[in-house]
Structure 1
Amino acid sequence: MTTRTVGPAGAPDAVLAAYDRQVDGLFTYCLSVLCEHDAATAALHEVRELARRHGARLAEPGLVRAWLFSLARYCCLRRLADGTVGEAGSGTEPGAGPGAELTEAEAVRRRRELASLAWPEAAGTDPEQREALELSVRHRLTPLEVAAVLGLPFDRTRGLLAAAEAEVARTRAALLVLGVGSCPELDRLGGAGTESWRDWVLGPALRRELVQHVVDCPTCRGTAERVAAGEAAEGAA
């Protein structure tokens, strides 16, 4: 994202205020990229420092949110490229001395944080599509902001989001059939009539098999059509 000197809208105080408003989302984004609490926390602290030092150079203050997520992406990808993620170990707090183990409650909280990032419906997306969806759906960035964060042309980003949303819709339909269907084959794929899929991290192979089964099986295809009709009726109500 280009920068130039701007007036008060790009002043450090204004940028840090924007950081404070976005801090929870920025942490969640860092955690989704790094999958480790300590590394995400360290990346978040680096984002704040970079924002403090360079915020006055922001060319388009209206894109300050996208700029902050761009910084977060840069900090996370640099850590992954350097191989520094996980070096401190997942059982200690950042900066803690040797042997400073997490409490059980803190360890449970961190596991829940990671579990909350599970998104079974996105199992059919590739990494680029998944990241675009994370920014668009979880963090509610506009397509223009997503394009700025990913460094992609706007038309390419819009197509990327459309393709990702189509894959999510296909997977969601198959998972809903798994939740309400009665076909015997669903027992093998995960359990007919179960709601447990909402807690799954659905692998690509199982996702492909499940989606293909819904396409091929007349019973499950009919169930998918009824579920879709029911959701459409609820949405129109």
Structure 2
Amino acid sequence: MMSSSPETSTRTTGAHRAQRQERDRAAARTLAQRPPARYEPYLDGLFTYCMSVLCDHDAATAALGDVLALAERRGGPDAAGDRRAWLYALARWACLRKLAEAKQKRQATHAAGRHGASHAPAGPPVAEDVLEARRRELSLLAWPEAAGTTPEQREALELAVRHHLAAHEVAAVLGMDLAGARELLASAACEVERTRAALAVVEIGDCPSVARLTGDNQFVLSSALRRELVRHVDDCPRCRRSAERAIPGRWPGAMITPAELPVLEAPRAALCTAPTHSPRARGAAVPRFDRRGFPMDPKDRAARRDRLRARAVTTTVVATVVAAPVLALWAAYRG
């Protein structure tokens, strides 16, 4: 049975292997000098995406380095529209891999601690002013109005609003069909607008019930508080009128929120020295690509493995059931 793989062919001759190794070395040399110019329009957005997922400057830089290395080796689509979605799909895969690696490292550290093993040495110290700058950088990615969205909605909305991806590009990045992506974006935008309406009512400050919910002006918009505020705006005629006056023509569900969200500047100098994983290094994780050439979601790969495993089990069971009468007849004959 054929399976999708990072390469087109499942068999590699010596000549082909040498060509690919030379291509990998050329890609590494190119990235060591500076990111190729064709990726320049996407660097800031890709780094911002990696930061929003990983919430760590160094991890995001390493993930973006992996994206550029994979893109150099793989080639990718020729059309500019497809290339942007493809690069974001690579970034999504790289971030998911980084998260999985971090989880495995935490589990290994926890297990080593139980057995009294020594901890791995910490990385080089980072200056306090650099850490403060990185904290400010990360705070720019906060989006309080998206507090009521699910993780799936938030991811789709980030791609559409912060990164200006069209619905078909969001669908390609997330591995969804276009109708599903549009439905996800519409539901996410509705939740953002409901939160925006609730925050507008809080800012107006003419409802005693809202004042009791928030306490003072220094409140933190938690999911629970957001839920209470949205419910109150839905139920309170006065607050509903206030929200409609505050955001005319943009009542929840009317349109995708037009907010312009900040994008971070990618650390271009650091990208030249960011450690990357060769896709053909022993033990290195590499994405599997679907028929379009987009990396498969790890969840899709896991589901595919489960389906193949279930199919193998079913085949074994069916073969056993079919063979049962024959085995019984043979046992009777031997008896």
Is the TM-score greater than 0.5? yes
2:220 corresponds to 1:220: no
Worse-superposed segment, 205-214 or 176-185: 176-185
- Amino acid across the alignment from 2:61: T
Q: Secondary structure in 1 aligned to 2:176? A: coil
Runs of 5+ consecutive residues of structure 2 not aligned to the other structure: 9-26, 107-120, 252-257, 259-335
Higher RCO (CA < 8 A, seq sep 6+): 2
Displacement of 1:190? 2.6
Match of 2:88 in 1: 69
Cα distance between partner residues in 2 of 1:75 and 1:230: 40
Match of 2:52 among 32, 35, 38: 32
Match of 1:43 in 2: 63
Displacement of 1:222? 2.5
Q: Is the 8 A contact 2:167 2:181 kept in 1?
A: yes
Q: Is the 8 A contact 2:193 2:250 kept in 1?
A: no
Cα distance between partner residues in 1 of 2:128 and 2:142: 22
Worse-superposed segment, 44-53 or 176-185: 176-185
Match of 1:209 among 218, 228, 233: 228
Worse-superposed segment, 210-219 or 141-150: 210-219
Q: CA RMSD in A?
A: 3.0
Q: Secondary structure in 1 aligned to 2:247? A: helix
Worse-superposed segment, 58-67 or 18-27: 58-67
Give the TM-score taking structure 1 as reference length. 0.78
How many residue pairs get aligned? The number is 210
Q: 1:99 to 1:37 in 2, by over 3 A?
A: closer
Match of 1:186 among 210, 213, 221: 210
Displacement of 1:98? 5.6
Equivalent residues in 2 for 1:85-104, closer than 5 Å: 100-104=124-128
2:105 corresponds to 1:81: no
Structure ranking higher in helix proportion: 1
Match of 1:9 in 2: none
Displacement of 1:59? 6.1
Cα distance between partner residues in 1 of 2:123 and 2:141: 29
Displacement of 1:230? 8.3
Displacement of 1:16? 3.7
Worse-superposed segment, 182-191 or 115-124: 182-191
Runs of 5+ consecutive residues of structure 1 not aligned to the other structure: 6-11, 88-96
Match of 1:20 among 24, 28, 40: 40
Structure showing greater Rg: 2
Q: 1:156 to 1:147 in 2, by over 3 A?
A: same
- Amino acid across the alignment from 1:65: R
Q: Secondary structure in 1 aligned to 2:125? A: coil
Q: 1:163 to 1:100 in 2, by over 3 A?
A: same
Q: Is the 8 A contact 2:153 2:184 kept in 1?
A: yes
Give the TM-score taking structure 2 as reference length. 0.56
Displacement of 1:156? 0.5
